[in-house]
Amino acid sequence: MNQLNPTIPGIPAVDVSGVSRVFSTKRGEVTALDGIDLTIAPGEFVSLIGPSGCGKSTLLRLIADLDQPTTGSINVFGTPAGIARQNQKYGIAFQQAGLLPWRTVTGNIALPLELHGVGKTARTQRVSELIEMVGLTEFAGSYPDQLSGGMQQRVAIARSLAEKPELLLMDEPFGALDEMTRERMQAELLRIAAESKAAVVFVTHSIPEAVFLSDRVVVMSPRPGRITGVVPVSLSRSASSDAEALREDTAFFASVTAVREELHGESSGASARGVDLR
């Protein structure tokens, strides 16, 4: 997965081609996304990064079929995004945990399974697996208002994994967390993504977060939202390497610098295209 240009065997997890999204507002039309092409391989971890208003969340919402593109097409595992949603091809987590306050941790994680008619025995087993995976066994019977923000977010991530999706869509899921919780959650997410072999599309505005997590970082610029560059990250994320060491690795800093230059290069204009992507 660390090649410069990941070759995609068979059907890509996400295939975005020629997508634009124009919002009509009272003050005229706003182009949120323009000319977006992006292909994500199965099992690949891709971050979308850019300043506010660059359309990274909009792009994620289009992939999730929570919104429709004005032009272009989006395929998820070879089917249009709408059908992929109907077929439950992805799990999603937002910046807010979005737990139902009247359901316990168990009930919240079980929600998608209940909605899709998974039998009680299978459900109970899957939910307890997930609760263990996110380390909330003691809190299985707690209600969301009894949990900290980090715990709530872990429940939301467990919920997004409930149906073993091959694609995870995450919209700044750690944005509201403090730095320490955030780093721990990032390490957990890496482990979970590796275990579940799911492709991940991860929206963030933190450079270190994007670099730490991703195989590729997609850099976007605002007005109109465009992809200005793609930075491949090659960190040696073997199972044994611990997160702390990884964050202090020289390759980590090199990638952070590359993403930063890509982001800033855009704002200074002409030199953007010339950034060396290795």
Partner 1 sequence: MTAALSSRSLRAKSARARLQPFILGVISVVLLAVLWELYKFAGPADGLTIGETRVLPRTTDLAMPHVWDMIARLGGPLTGSSTAIPLWLAVLKAAGMSLGIAAIGWSLGLIVGFALAVLMQRFRIAESAVLPLVILSQTVPLIALAPVVRVWGSRLEFGSFEWESWMSVAVIASYLAFFPIAVGALRGLQSPDTIHEELMRSYAAGWWKTLVYLRLPASVPYLLPALGLGAANAVIGTIVAEVSTGLSGGIGRMILDFSNFASSDPAKPWAPIFGAILLGLVAAGLVSLLGLALGRYRRAEVSR
| Cβ 202 vs Cβ 47: under 8 Å | yes
90 is a site residue for partner 1 (CB under 8 A): yes
| Token pair for 78 | 């070879």
| Cβ 95 vs Cβ 34: under 8 Å | no
102 is a site residue for partner 1 (CB under 8 A): yes
96 is a site residue for partner 1 (CB under 8 A): yes
| Token pair for 185 | 């959650």
CB of 56 to partner 1, least distance (A): 17
List 16, 47, 60, 94, residue binding partner 1 (CB under 8 A): 94
86 is a site residue for partner 1 (CB under 8 A): yes
Residue that is written with structure tokens 């998974």 in the block: 118
List 112, 150, 208, 232, residue binding partner 1 (CB under 8 A): 112
List 42, 79, 85, 254, residue binding partner 1 (CB under 8 A): 85
Give the integer Cα–Cα distance in Å for 113 and 263. 40
| Cβ 66 vs Cβ 82: under 8 Å | no
Q: What one-character DSSP code corresponds to residue 175?
A: T
Q: What one-character DSSP code corresponds to residue 232?
A: E
92 is a site residue for partner 1 (CB under 8 A): yes
CB of 64 to partner 1, least distance (A): 6
Alpha-carbon dihedral sign for residues 211, 217, 222, 228? positive
CB of 219 to partner 1, least distance (A): 26
By CB under 8 A, the count of residues binding partner 1 is 22
199 is a site residue for partner 1 (CB under 8 A): no
Residue 102 or 238 with smaller CB distance to partner 1: 102
